[in-house]
Copies of this chain bind each other. A is one copy, B any other.
C-alpha cells in the first residue's frame, strides 16, 4: 500500500484515518487486564527475538543507505543493531511488562456532601503520537510504554531507520496480536512524507498527546507547530550551585560528575554557580579544567584560575552538551536563585551544601521540574528515579514534569457512587 501526500489535506485525511483506527483499538486496550497486557508485551518481545534475522537484515539496509548518504559516525552508531542490541530491546520490552500497571489505580477518594462516594481513578490518556529520530529502539520502547499504560500509539520514526522500524513494528504487532491486541493499537506511520508529521501535530481531538524524542530542532518544530498537547523538554540548562557551607570534596565530585560523566545528556551541568564565600572554589574549577572541561566565567570566576575564558552574555543561556561550562560567582543563595530564575530551562538545578536551612530554601523556591540537594544533576533520569523506564523528561508546567514514565501516560476520571441522590 502506498500513500501519496500532496497537500496538508491529504495528510490530515491519512492521520484522521489512522487516529480513528487507533482510538477504536484503544477502547479494546482499555478493557484489557494488567495480566493480559503484560502477556501481550512478553509475546511482542518473543516475536522480536524470533524475527531477529529479518530485523537485522532490514537494519543492514538502513545502515548501508546511511553510509552511502554520509551519515555521521554517531548517527550510524545509533542506527545500527546487532544481536546484543536487539536482545537489549527485547529485554527492555519485558522490563516494561514487569512494571506495575497504572490503569485502574485509585488516586484518592472522599465523600460528597450529599453522600456519594467519590473515587479518582487512573485511566489511559488515549492515543499517543511519538515523533522520533533514527533510533530503532525507540520504536519498541515507546510502543511498550504506551501499551503497558493502555494507550494506543502512532509512531513516526526517522527516515534513515525506516526499514528497521517497519521490521520491529511488524514483529511486535505479530506478538501482540497473538494475545488479542488489535493491530491498530500500535501503528507506524505508513509514509515518511514530512507533511504527515504536520498532520499529526494538527490532529487536536484525534491524537491526545505528542511526545517528541530526539534533538532540539525536532522538539522545537513539534512545540512550535503542535495543536496537540506536547510532553517534552527543549533545553537542559542545568545549574549546580556550590553554597558557602558545601563540603569541598563533595562539591568537587558533584561538579565533576554533573559536567563530565556524560557531557551530551540533558541532565549535564551547563552552569556552575560558586558562592563568593565558598573557600574551595579554585579547587572545583581546577578539577574541571584538569579533566579537560573548558570554562567560561564572569570576572570573579576568571580570578579563580587563569585558564578560565571570559563568558559572553549568551553563555548563560547556552546548552553546550559538550565539555564546556559557564561559571559565575554569586553573593549568596538569593543571588544564585536569581541567576537560575533568569537562565534555567526548568530541567534540573542543584545545590551543594551542608546547611540544611539553605538547602530547604533552594528546594522550595527554585521552580524547576527537578531540584536536587547534594547529588549530581546527571541523575535526572526515569531509571535513576526508580520509575523503571521513561518516555521522556518534561519541563512544561502542566500534567507531568521531570522524568515521565507510565503514570504520566495516564489521566484520571471521577467515579461517583450514589444511592439515588438527586440534587436539591
Binding site for B on A (CB under 8 A): 27, 30-31, 104, 110-114, 116, 118, 123, 125-126, 208-209, 229, 247, 250, 253-254, 256-257, 261, 341, 363-365, 367-376, 378-379, 383-386, 396-399, 401-403, 411-423
Assess whether B413 is in contact with A368, with CB atoms less than 8 Å apart. Answer: yes
Assess whether A418 is in contact with B385, with CB atoms less than 8 Å apart. Answer: no
Distance, CA A370 to CA B419, complexed state (A): 16
Binding site of A, secondary structure by majority: helix, strand, loop or mixed? mixed
Report if A250-B420 is in contact (Cβ < 8 Å); known contacts: A379-B112, A386-B111.
Answer: yes
- Chain B hits for A396, CB < 8 A: 229
Closest Cβ neighbor of A117 among chain B residues? B373
Closest Cβ neighbor of A365 among chain B residues? B31
Closest 8 CB pairs of A and B: A375-B418, A257-B422, A372-B416, A374-B418, A378-B423, A250-B420, A398-B399, A375-B421
- Chain B hits for A254, CB < 8 A: 420, 422
- Chain B hits for A375, CB < 8 A: 114, 116, 416-422
Distance, CA A126 to CA B369, complexed state (A): 13
Within the complex, what minimum Cβ distance (angstroms) separates A226 from chain B? Answer: 9
30 A-B pairs within 8 Å (CB atoms) are namely A27-B367, A31-B364, A111-B386, A118-B385, A209-B398, A229-B398, A247-B420, A254-B420, A254-B422, A257-B422, A257-B423, A367-B413, A370-B413, A371-B416, A372-B415, A372-B416, A374-B418, A374-B420, A374-B421, A375-B418, A375-B419, A376-B423, A378-B422, A379-B416, A379-B423, A384-B423, A385-B414, A398-B398, A402-B413, A402-B414
Report if A371-B414 is in contact (Cβ < 8 Å); known contacts: A229-B229, A420-B250.
Answer: yes
- Chain B hits for A417, CB < 8 A: 363, 372-375
Among B341, B385, B422, contact of A253 (Cβ-Cβ < 8 Å): B422
Assess whether A411 is in contact with B421, with CB atoms less than 8 Å apart. Answer: no
Distance, CA A179 to CA B365, complexed state (A): 20
Q: Apart from A229-B229, A261-B423, what 19 extra A-B contacts exist at CB < 8 Å? A: A30-B367, A110-B386, A112-B379, A363-B417, A368-B413, A370-B413, A371-B414, A373-B416, A373-B417, A374-B417, A374-B421, A375-B418, A375-B420, A375-B422, A376-B422, A399-B399, A401-B411, A402-B413, A403-B414
